[in-house]
Amino acid sequence: MARFLLLMALLAGACLRAQDPFTVETALQRGPPAVLAVTFRVPAEHYLYAHMIAVEPVQPPGVTLAALTTPTPKVRYDATFEKDLSTYDNDVTFTYRVDGLAAGDLTVAVSYQGCTESMCFLPQRLELVAGAGAAPSAAAAPGDADASASAGSWRDLAERFEVVATGSGYMDSDTFIAFLRSGDSGGAAAEENLLSAVFRRYGLLVALLLVLPLGLLLNLTPCVLPMIPVNLAIIGAGQGQGSRSTGLVRGAVYGAGMALVYGLLGVVVVLTGSRFGALNASPWFNAAIAVVFVILGLAMFDVLVLDLSRFQRAGATADGSRRSPLLAAFVLGGTAALLAGACVAPVLIWVLLLATDLYAKGNPAGLLLPLALGVGMALPWPVVGAGLSVLPRPGAWMNRIKAVFGVLILLFAVYYASLSVRIIMARQGGTPDSAAVDGWNPSLAAGLQEAHGSGREVVLDFWALTCKSCMKMKRTTFKDPAVVAALEPYVRIAVQTDDMKDPVVRGSLDYYKVMGLPTYVVLRPRAE
């Protein structure tokens, strides 16, 4: 159990990426008097709470700061706090007189919290070093500290455009053309995800009730569906009338593993101010899934023998340890939850984003949403464990069922193996031709520069090789003559997101608040 929980924690940590979009720059000018300048970069359609901004000296000891200039904030009504609050919605610089600094660098702690109209980010506290007479030191948003240099060019250009429409998911030709027209008319704002829209209109209780059936659907994701025969064997389904109560208990424990994993994942994501990323963007993850599915597929054809029945028997093992069928069911349930999450189901991202937003706004009930998703995923398994215990005993019909599942599992193994190869090729600059569409610029900075120079509007396509809907869009909708004609006036930019280590990928996903793939964003040049 300890090893399993450690593995879950490591996997969860590997899937996290920060989402705070604000940046802070510091500059120290020697005196007398010495003056510290702290500049907050505020993206378009974002704002900072004035009362949450604080700058405190850290090193060397004995240094004090006295405010020299404080920008005048704007007063706006805040629906979260239900009162007027002072905010900054553009770049601002605070200056301080530095007393007691003899020589060397100055380290300060900068605290702030920012929001958009639809969500708030967690409070931040950064420790920055301001050197003597050096160029300003910049602290990127959490997770982007190594990205400031490479991300700066596109970020500066992005500030010169406004978002007029956002859409996601697969769209046929007519739907995509209608989406473009909504951006032309200015009638579409940045799209809310379904769960956030339900919460805004009906409240937390209705959103919570919606999460349960969405969790139920996670059992049908490609990562979990092929494992159903294995899961049934471990929880003991199909063992005869007398095992109904045993199947019920094991199914409930199996479901409890699912619920606990999502509950813990939600707590980690929300409390660390991070976001669940795309684990399946790793070629090694996809290769490992392919190997697992090959083993399971061969077992369905009896090429390999997997004695799953040993997980159903209590007693001592050969090394003297105790075997627990309930523990096996619990661990497998948690594993199934992680695999489902690795498929990057949009609903999981919706839930985690809404949970983070609610908690950041002071509502701790947001922590319950990921747990509710896990409960929804767990709901059918006690019934399956008890109800399927009345199935007929294995016979020739079962061999045919095993063969069908074996073929399905091996097909998934081929799919994940091909994904692994294609991701490696993409990261080495050898993206398969099938992933390219004529007329789309693969460089975000170059595309934005072209649009800025020509004054044209922009269509961004955030996609990945691991996204089936993305690839379908490239094979169908984006090659439709009507869509090609509708896109002709736009500068078209295809942002490939398979390499989550790329600072431009991480930064642009955060900047445009991309929740799932594919996502399309229409940009319009700002009025000078």
Q: How far apart are CA 135 and CA 156, in angstroms?
A: 18
Task: List per-residue pLDDT tens for the chain, 528 residues long.
Answer: 445 444 444 444 444 334 568 889 888 877 667 888 899 999 888 889 898 899 999 888 888 898 888 888 888 877 656 678 899 988 888 988 888 887 778 888 999 988 887 667 777 888 888 854 333 333 434 334 333 333 446 888 899 999 998 887 778 899 899 889 876 654 444 445 556 666 667 677 777 787 888 788 777 766 666 666 666 666 665 444 446 777 788 888 888 888 888 888 778 766 765 544 445 566 777 788 788 778 877 877 878 766 555 555 544 444 444 556 677 778 877 777 766 665 545 566 667 767 776 776 667 777 888 888 888 888 888 877 776 545 555 556 667 777 777 887 788 788 778 877 877 776 665 444 445 567 898 889 888 988 988 999 999 999 887 677 788 888 899 999 999 999 999 999 999 887 777 788 888 888 887 766 788 999 999 886
Nearest alpha carbon to residue 124 among 26, 63, 55: 55
Nearest alpha carbon to residue 268 among 5, 443, 12: 12
Dihedral Cα 269, 259, 497, 467, nearest 10 deg:
-160
Structure tokens at 383: 């019934």
**Residue ranges in 109-243 assigned as alpha helix (H):** 148-158, 173-185, 194-202, 204-217, 228-235
User: Contact 360/371 with Cβ under 8 angstroms?
Assistant: no
Beta-ladder partners of 139: 24
Nearest alpha carbon to residue 325 among 317, 50, 126: 317
- Tell me what pLDDT residue 494 has: 92
Q: How far apart are CA 459 and CA 164, in angstroms?
A: 10
Residue 352, helix vs strand vs coil: helix
Q: How far apart are CA 333 and CA 336, in angstroms?
A: 5
Largest CA-CA distance found in the chain, in angstroms, rounded: 91
Structure tokens at 43: 């993206």
- Is the Cα torsion angle 383, 384, 389, 391 positive or negative in sign? positive
Residue 48 falls in which region: left (phi positive, over 0), alpha (psi -120 to 50) or beta: beta
Domain boundaries for CATH 2.60.40.1250 within the chain: 20-140
One-letter identity of residue 346? P
Q: How many CB atoms lie within 10 A of CB 470?
A: 22
Structure tokens at 230: 């294995």
One-letter identity of residue 347? V
User: 403-426 in b/e burial notation, b at 16+ Cβ within 10 A?
Assistant: eebbebbbebbebbbebbebbeeb
Structure tokens at 159: 């500030």
Cα of 389 vs its chain's centroid, Å: 38
Which one-letter DSSP state was computed for residue 309? G
State yes or no: cis peptide before 364, omega within 30 of 0: no
User: Contact 115/46 with Cβ under 8 angstroms?
Assistant: yes
User: Contact 313/323 with Cβ under 8 angstroms?
Assistant: yes
Nearest alpha carbon to residue 177 among 510, 503, 478: 478
Query: Residue 82, exposed/middle/buried by CB under 10 A (0-12, 13-18, 19+)?
Result: exposed
Report CA Rg, the chain.
26
CATH number for the segment(s) 161-191+431-525 = 3.40.30.10
One-letter identity of residue 122? L
Nearest alpha carbon to residue 96 among 51, 64, 59: 64
Residue 238 falls in which region: left (phi positive, over 0), alpha (psi -120 to 50) or beta: left
- Tell me what pLDDT residue 407 has: 84
Domain boundaries for CATH 3.40.30.10 within the chain: 161-191+431-525
User: How far apart, in Å, are the Cα atoms of 406 and each of 293, 296, 302?
Assistant: 9, 8, 10
User: Contact 274/16 with Cβ under 8 angstroms?
Assistant: yes
- Tell me what pLDDT residue 489 has: 93
- Tell me what pLDDT residue 328 has: 73
Cα of 38 vs its chain's centroid, Å: 31
One-letter identity of residue 1? M
Nearest alpha carbon to residue 8 among 270, 349, 265: 265
Structure tokens at 475: 């094979």
Superfamily (CATH H level) for 20-140:
Thiol:disulfide interchange protein DsbD, N-terminal domain (2.60.40.1250)
- Tell me what pLDDT residue 325 has: 65
Nearest alpha carbon to residue 193 among 210, 205, 213: 210
Nearest alpha carbon to residue 158 among 503, 488, 436, 504: 504
- Residue spans of beta strands (DSSP E) within 155-298: 161-168, 274-276
Structure tokens at 256: 């409890």
Q: How many CB atoms lie within 10 A of CB 330?
A: 22
